[in-house]
Amino acid sequence: MKGRYLSLAATGAALCLTATLTGCGTVSGLSGDNEVTLRVVAADYGDNPQNSSATYWKGLASSFEKDNPGVHVEVSVYSWSEVDAKVAEMVKAGKAPDIAQIGAYADYAEAGKLYTADELLSVNTEADFLAPLADAGKVKRVQYGMPFVASTRLLFYNTKLLGDAGVIPKDGSAPWQPKSWADLEAAAKKLKGAGVPTPFALPLGREEAQAESMMWMLAGGGGYTDNEEAYAIDSPENVKSFEFLRDKMVGQGLTGPVEPGKLDRQAAFDAFTRGEVGMLNGHPTLIKQAAGKGVKFGMVPMPTADGADHSAMGVADWVMAFKNGHRKEAGKFLDLLYSAKNVTAFTNTYDLLPVTTSGYRAMDASTGGSAAQLKTFLAALPTSRLYPVGKKSWAGVSEDIKQNIGQVVQPGGQPAKVLENIATSARKADGDH
């Protein structure tokens, strides 16, 4: 996912799918007064042609057409590196798709280009979304963005390295159960003493600095916004979180040889799969990456500053429907998309989390495949906090964080000053001075 938890985007040309005789890029429906062509643009979650999301969408389109004569579905699947830009180009050219499954919706909602969720969905479908995800899809308390898939983050640790360092029993008889940042610091010191190259990987590089930052903010009792959803990036809680990272983790040499501001997420994951990292925050894709390299690992909720419970970070991608005059047809298609069967089929394929209560219950009850490992991520989802994606300013604020947050943990870094600068710009962009 773009800037979130999947960077598995397959590059190259879009895959155009249609179960009709229309050509790729057709805008209007087939001949006939009552026939409609629904144009859908979606992102590819696969990392090779064999597991492209195109297969899923093709099946969904065929199923829908069978039950809805006269409505044809045309799907274009693009890599995450280009799908948002493709939709932006279509909208600018006056050829917005009927439905888009991409990374952000707020700009289009603010511009009045989207149907609201309750204009599209059946009552049962709309009520099925998990509450924090539905709330994150709202602009000024009205839902335009419909969550598509979700994830949370957990702290991964290398069981062999922690065992060798004396953090946990070598025989694996007891898992690690850290509660506070003091536990994290103590374990990192032991790992460093045992010669582990990177006791704790802290990727504050451009790839996903906004995610790593938010995890630490939430665990410290803060976050990007306050309870009224106004930006609070420079809150005292956030300042203290980064002071801990600067003084206790980076300052004591516990974050490895690469400066956090120059360490990207995937580079940290790769080092973990090579057995060079003791601990790091990770998302579900790291399960397969680590297992594929034979790394034995455990996963626990992110410890908090004081050991008290705080919200975990959740992430989601979005579906939206543009006002093209096909509200009824788009709504029917979305009801099918969000059926428990289809939600489960997609999330199982890509080790992602469902966004609906029915999908959540289905995964929670399952026992096959990677369900057991994913349940640890799933448990944190209903109470998770998401990026403030309902703010049209968020894209710019996220970029500001990517560029500057690494400075705060450098020796002599000034968290209060850097966070104040980011927050001031964010409030100005959002209009909540």
Give residue-wise pLDDT tens across range 267-313.
999 999 999 999 999 988 899 889 889 999 999 999 999 999 988 89
How distant, in Å, are the alpha carbons of 107, 135, 343, 418, 423 from that of 431?
15, 21, 37, 20, 12
- In whole angstroms, give the CA distance from residue 356 to residue 64: 20
Contact yes or no for 249/219 (Cβ under 8 A): no
Q: Residue 390: helix, strand or coil by DSSP?
A: coil
Using the CB atoms, write b or e for 169-203: b if 16+ within 10 Å: eeeeeeebebeebeebbebbbbbbebebbbbbbbb
Contact yes or no for 312/102 (Cβ under 8 A): no
Per-residue pLDDT at 33: 53
Per-residue pLDDT at 50: 85
Residue among 23, 108, 29, 42 at smallest CA distance from 72: 29
What are 78's strand-pairing partners? Answer: 43
Q: Residue 367: helix, strand or coil by DSSP?
A: coil
H/E run at residue 366: none
Contact yes or no for 382/130 (Cβ under 8 A): yes
| Burial class of residue 370, CB neighbours in 10 A (0-12, 13-18, 19+) | middle
Neighbours of 93 (CB within 10 A): 8
Contact yes or no for 203/264 (Cβ under 8 A): yes
- Residue 342: what are its φ and ψ, rounded to 5°? -75, -35
Contact yes or no for 385/221 (Cβ under 8 A): no
The beta-strand segments (E) located in 153-307 are 154-158, 198-200, 277-282, 297-300
State how beta strands 99-102 and 154-158 pair: unpaired
H/E run at residue 113: none
Structure tokens at 78: 């693009």
- In whole angstroms, give the CA distance from residue 114 to residue 103: 15
Per-residue pLDDT at 216: 98
DSSP letter at 381?
Answer: G
Q: Which residues of the chain have pLDDT under 70?
A: 1-33, 368-371, 432-433
Per-residue pLDDT at 369: 61
Domains and CATH numbers, the chain: 15-151+315-383 (3.40.190.10), 154-311+393-430 (3.40.190.10)
Contact yes or no for 347/353 (Cβ under 8 A): yes
What are 155's strand-pairing partners? Answer: 281, 300
- The label of the residue with tokens 């026992």 reads 367
Contact yes or no for 384/132 (Cβ under 8 A): yes
69: Cα separation from own chain's centroid: 36
Per-residue pLDDT at 382: 81
| CA dihedral sign, ordered 146, 377, 230, 419 | negative
State how beta strands 99-102 and 36-43 pair: parallel
Per-residue pLDDT at 207: 86
- In whole angstroms, give the CA distance from residue 14 to residue 426: 34
